[in-house]
Structure 1
Amino acid sequence: MPIAGLKSAKWALPLGLLLWITVAEADLGHHLEFLYIDANEGSASGGHAALKFDQQVFHFQHIEPGLLRLYRNDAAAFEFAYGFQENRSIYGHRIDVNADFFQVLRDAFNRRLLIQNQQLSLLQALHDDQALASDLQNPGMAPHISVKGLGYFLTQYRPTATLPVASANIAPSSQALQQLRDAIVKEYGQNFLVDKRQQTWQNLQSLKPELAFKTASGELTDMRSTATSSAFAERYRNQLLNMAAMDVLQTGLSPRTESLLALPEATFKLSAAQLAKLQDFRQRLLADLISLMRSQRNDWGYPLLVGMARLHALDYSIASGYLIVLNRSRSENDDPQATIIEDANVPAALQYSQQVFMAASGHLDSPAALDELAYSELELSATALMQLHKPREDQQPLKLLPLTTTPSRPAAAELIGLPIPAKKLADFQNTVTEQIEIYQNQLQSLYGYNLLNRNCVTEIFRVVNQTVASMAVANQESTRQASQQLLGGYMNEQGLNMIPFVAYAHIADTYRLSASFQREPYRERRRQLRYRQMPQWQVDLQESNVLSSTIYDRNREDAAFLFFTQDQIWPRPLLGGFNLAVAGGQGLYGLFSWPWDSGDNLHKSLKGIVVSLPELLFFNIRKGSFPGLLPEVGIYVP
Structure 2
Amino acid sequence: MTEGSYSSPATADFIYVDSNTGQSSGGHTGIRIGNKVYHYQYFPDDIFHLVRESYDDFAFNYNVLSNRTSVLTRLGLTQKEISILESELNRLYLVQFRHLQNWEFLKKETKLLEELNSPEKKVGLRATAYFKENVTSPISANIKSELAESLGKDFLEKLESDLNKNLLSENNLLKRMEFSPLPETIRKDRFPFFKPGTFLSLRDTLEGIVFCKILIEEWGLDNNFKISNIQESLNTEETRLLRDFFRAQTAQLSRIVSERDPGWAYTALVVLGRLHAVDESLRIGSPVFLSSFPEDAPIVFKKNEDDENNLKHISEESWAVVSLARKKISALNELSEKEYQIWEDATNRAFELKQGIGVSIPVRVAVGKLIPQREKKFLIPMFIPDEKTIALHLDLSRKREQEYHKILKNLYPFQLLRENCTTEILKNVQNSFDRAEIAFPGERIEFPFSLALIPFYASYTVGKNWNNEGRTTALSFRKKKLHQGQEYPGLSVMNEITGFIRV
Interval containing the TM-score (normalised by the shorter chain): 0.7 to 0.9
1:90–1:179 distance in 2 versus 1, CA, 3 Å: closer
Query: Residue 512 of structure 1: which of 453, 467, 483 is its match?
Result: 467
User: Is 1:48 aligned to 2:28, yes or no?
Assistant: yes
CA drift at 1:388: 8.4
2:247 to 278, 283, 287: 283
Q: What is the alpha-carbon distance in structure 1 between the residues aligned to residue 327 and residue 468 of structure 2?
A: 42
**Is contact 1:136–1:417 with CA below 8 Å preserved after alignment?**
no
Kept in 1: contact 2:41–2:50 (CA 8 A): yes
Q: Distance in 1 between matches of 2:124 and 2:423?
A: 39
In 2, distance between residues paired with 1:275 and 1:132? 41
- The answer to whether 1:488 aligns with 2:461 is no
Map 1:160-239 → 2, pairs under 5 A: 173-204=136-167, 206-207=172-173, 208-216=176-184, 219-230=185-196, 232-239=198-205
Instruction: Please give the alpha-carbon distance, in whole angstroms, between the structure 2 residues aligned to 1:220 and 1:381.
Output: 35
Give yes or no for contact 1:274–1:364 (8 Å, CA) kept in 2: yes
Task: Give the 5 Å matches for 1:94-105.
Answer: 94-105=74-85
Partner SS state of residue 469, structure 1: helix
Question: Which residue of 2 is the match for residue 17 of structure 1?
Answer: none
Quote the offset at 1:221 in angstroms. 0.6
Matched, 1:430 2:391: no
- The DSSP-based 3-state class of the residue aligned with 2:15 is strand
Q: Over alpha carbons, which structure has the higher Rg?
A: 1
Residue 625 of structure 1 is matched in structure 2 by: 497
Residue 248 of structure 1: how far off its partner (Å)? 0.4
3-state DSSP of counterpart to 1:487: coil
Within 5 A, what are the aligned runs for 1:153-552? Answer: 153-154=131-132, 173-204=136-167, 206-207=172-173, 208-216=176-184, 219-230=185-196, 232-263=198-229, 268=233, 271=236, 275-320=239-284, 322-323=285-286, 325-330=288-293, 336-337=299-300, 340=303, 344=309, 348=313, 351-352=316-317, 355-362=320-327, 365-366=330-331, 368-380=333-345, 396-397=359-360, 405-414=370-379, 418-472=383-437, 482-483=438-439, 486-496=440-450, 497-528=452-483, 550-552=491-493
Q: Is this contact kept in 1: 2:299–2:362, CA < 8 A?
A: no
CA distance in 2, matches of 1:229, 1:88: 43
Aligned to 1:581: none
Q: Say which SS state the counterpart of residue 259 (structure 2) adopts.
A: coil
Cα distance change of structure 1 residues 290 and 338 upon mapping to structure 2, 3 Å threshold: farther
TM-superposed CA distance for 1:263, in Å, is 3.6
* Cross-structure match for 1:79: 59
Note the C-alpha offset of 1:366.
Answer: 3.8
Query: Do the aligned partners of residues 363 and 494 (structure 1) sit closer, same or farther apart at CA in structure 2, a change above 3 Å counting?
Result: closer
Mean alpha-carbon deviation: is it higher for 446-455 or for 58-67? 58-67
Q: CA deviation at 1:524?
A: 4.1
Question: Partners in 2 of 1:132 and 1:43 — Cα distance?
Answer: 36
**Kept after mapping to 2: 8 A contact 1:343/1:397:** no
Q: 1:147 to 1:191 in 2, by over 3 A?
A: same
**Aligned-partner SS, 1:227:** coil
* Letter aligned with residue 372 of structure 1: E
Whether 2:127 is the aligned partner of 1:149: answer: yes
Unaligned runs of 5+ in 2: 1-7
Cα displacement (A) at 1:449 = 1.7
Confirm or deny: 8 A CA contact 2:200 2:263 kept in the other structure. Answer: no
CA contact (8 A) 2:151 2:254 kept: no
CA distance change for structure 1 residues 66 and 248 in 2, over 3 Å: closer, same or farther? Answer: closer
Q: TM-score, normalised by structure 1?
A: 0.65
Deviations 1:144-198 (A, max 9, x none): 433222111138xxxxxxxxxxx8xxxx932222222223223333332222112
Q: Normalising by structure 2, report the TM-score.
A: 0.81
Higher relative contact order (CA 8 A, sep 6+): 2
**Unaligned residue ranges in structure 1 (runs of 5+):** 1-27, 156-166, 473-481, 534-542, 555-623, 629-638
- The whole-number CA distance in structure 1 between the counterparts of 2:334 and 2:193 is 39
Q: CA deviation at 1:307?
A: 2.9
How big is each residue's C-alpha offset from its partner over 1:272-311, in whole Å with a ceiling of 9 and x where there is no partner? Answer: x654444333322222222222123233222332333333
Separation of aligned partners in 1, 2:322 and 2:390: 50
Compute the displacement of 1:526 (Å): 4.5
Q: Distance in 1 between matches of 2:355 and 2:327?
A: 24
Which amino acid counterpart does residue 194 of structure 2 have in structure 1? T
Verify the 8 A CA contact 1:241 1:299 in the aligned structure 2.
no
Instruction: Report deviation, 1:356.
Output: 4.6
Query: For the residues of structure 1 that align with 2:146 and 2:267, how far apart are their CA atoms?
Result: 17
Which string of whole-angstrom CA distances, capped at 9 and with x for unpartnered residues, describes residues 298-328 of structure 1?
33222332333333444444455x2352332
Quote the sequence identity (%). Answer: 19
User: 1:495 deviation in Å?
Assistant: 1.8
Amino acid at match of 2:446: N
- Of 116-125 and 373-382, more deviation after overlay is shown by 373-382
In the alignment, which residue of structure 2 is the partner of 1:140? 119
C-alpha change, 1:526 and 1:259, in structure 2 (3 Å) is: closer
Partner AA of 2:244 in structure 1? D
* CA–CA distance in structure 2, aligned partners of residues 81 and 92 of structure 1: 16
